[in-house]
Amino acid sequence: MQLKNSTLQWVLIGTFAVLAVSLGFRPLRDPDLGWHIAGGLWMMAHRAVPMIDPFGALGSPWINYSWLFQLPAAFCYSHWGFRGLQFLQAGLIFLLLVLLFEYAQHTARRVVNAPDVVRCMTAGLVVLIVVLLAGPSWSLRPQLLSLSALVILLLLLRQSKQRSWTLFGLTILWSNFHVYWLLVPGLFVISRFCSGIGFELRTIAFALCLFVAGIVSPYGINNLWAVYEYAFQHQMAYQLIEEFGPVSIEDGFVFWCLWGVLISALCFVRPLLKKCGPADIAVFFLFGGLAVMRAKYVALFGVVAIPVFVAAVAESLAAFAGGAKFTAQLSGGKCIVIGAMMGVLLLIALTSIDRATALDPVRVEALNIAERVVAEPRFASQAKVVVMNDFNDGGWLILGFYLATENSLPQDRFKVAIDGRTLVAGGQRLSEYDELRKLAPGWENVVRKWAPDVVVVRDTDTREKFAALLNVPAFN
């Protein structure tokens, strides 16, 4: 029985569609999604990008470099609610899976010496491996769209004749929805250097031009300043945000899979170099090291590791199916066995998912609390209400306040003390929040300095201490 490549492609794309729906219709829970939606709604209402933060207590400048993601997210929410955002999440995951499949097939044509149907099967299995490794971190946020942009970049760098306008266009578009746009000049330099060209003056000049293209944004040169702050002035944020921590044994499957892949690749560097090339190996270990140090980068590693995965899967399939015979045809029995393997991987990836609700209960609770605070009579005539809150609840409280006051002006009376927009908060406020969450000596001075009008903190004991110190109401 000969299996046609086109048939197998459609089977795999159908599998990806099922996987995208299953992953996409998980309850929305990302802590930053709330302020992303609120930011998009604010832009739709004001027909401008924000220059000053309308949601936080400080009124700081806001370089909202994710504005181009927030607008479509807010549009989906305003028309179809949170269920619409789940459709958007599933759609972005499906787009990413299809692009990963195309990149894996493109790599397989170069790496795998076998018929197209074998390359197609290899590519399909590699995509499922990437899902197992990085899929748990895929949620509706600019980073998800950024991963698709990364695949497009890798495909562009594979072209024998790179057209400069495509890289410039990708840089400009990417720099308006996520900070990962820096990968364009970075990976361009790595690909040129590892191809034997070296650090020629024109290579460096072109990379610098790509970097400068990041100023094509409503924020201009400040868009580059935000990148600098994010990269070099963000140490306290790295301590507060869990995903910026290293991958630990508590991460379970991801921890063992990541270390297993890296150690295995170290043992077979020479064979991999013959099949993948120095650029692929250099990027593989560079991003592997970043993933070990910061869990946030596991998803990036999953994408750039595709050439290595393709080489490893191709060798494994050939050995499993009888070497050279496998390159001639796929028998019916072999198709069944390989299909069963894919099914098992798919079942592992599809963990139990609650599709009954579009929103995670913790986020629903934050929205409900925001509505109760807005309805509190004592705040009716108050021009500005500062809310003491937990770091990860700030974004959803922002959305809750915006929605609860959308029919009254001004919409920005209720201000959160702190939230996930760490560049807006600044290092000093983040340090002060760290003192508060640890109840470190002197925390009373921080609470008085922040001068909240209401306390919304999850820990009961902490909430009562803050409220009693200033004699303000507390909500739980």
Residues 102-129: pLDDT tens digits? 999 999 888 777 777 778 888 888 998 8
Task: Let me know whether 239 and 328 are in one domain.
Answer: yes
Specify whether 155 is located in the same domain as 21: yes
pTM: 0.90
Residues 106 and 206 grouped into a single domain: yes
Last residue in a domain, options 349, 380, 412: 349
Q: What is residue 2's predicted lDDT score, i.e. its pLDDT?
A: 43
The span from the CA of 99 to the CA of 203, in Å, is: 27
Instruction: Dihedral sign for Cα 117, 123, 129, 132, please.
Output: negative
Q: Which residue has the tokens 């995951």?
A: 93
Helix axes 278-293, 269-276, angle to 10 degrees: 120
388 and 315 assigned to the same domain: no
Three-state DSSP at 15 gives helix
Check pLDDT > 80 for residue 347. no
Domain contains 27: yes
Residue 434 belongs to domain spanning: 361-470
Q: Which of 349, 377, 408 is the last residue of a domain?
A: 349
Same domain, 113 and 145: yes
Same domain, 308 and 403: no
| Residue 5 banded pLDDT, cuts 50, 70, 90 | low
Strand partners, 83: none
pLDDT tens sequence across 158-190: 876 667 789 999 999 999 999 999 999 999 988
Residues 372 and 229 in one domain: no
Using the 3D structure, point to which of 326, 349, 372 is the last residue of a domain. 349
DSSP 331-390: -HHHHHHHHHHHHHHHHHHS-----S-SB-HHHHHHHHHHHHHHH-GGGTT-S-EEEEE-
Q: In the chain, pLDDT over 70 holds for what percent of residues?
A: 88
Tell the residue number behind the tokens 């709330």, with chain if given. 34
Closest Cα to residue 190, out of 278, 61, 255, 98?
Answer: 278
pLDDT in tens, 40-64: 999 999 999 999 999 999 989 999 9
- 17 has pLDDT over 90: no
Is residue 475 in some structural domain?
no
pLDDT of residue 80 exceeding 90 = yes
The pLDDT of residue 352: 44
Regarding whether 76 and 129 lie in a shared domain, the answer is: yes
Whether 354 maps to a domain, the answer reads no
Residue 287 has pLDDT above 80, yes or no: yes
pLDDT at 4: 55
Residues 38 and 152 in one domain: yes
How do residues 89-101 score in pLDDT, each as one tens digit?
999 999 999 999 9
Lowest mean pLDDT among 73-82, 234-243, 410-419: 234-243
What's the pLDDT score for residue 194? 78
Q: Is the pLDDT of residue 326 over 70?
A: no
Please tell me whether residue 28 adopts helix, strand or coil conformation: strand
Two tokens at 64? 């909202």
CATH number of the domain enclosing 376 = 3.40.50
Confidence of residue 327 (pLDDT cuts 50, 70, 90): very low
- For residue 331, pLDDT beyond 60: no
For residue 336, pLDDT beyond 90: no
Mean pLDDT, the chain, rounded, equals 86
In the chain, how many domains are there? Answer: 2
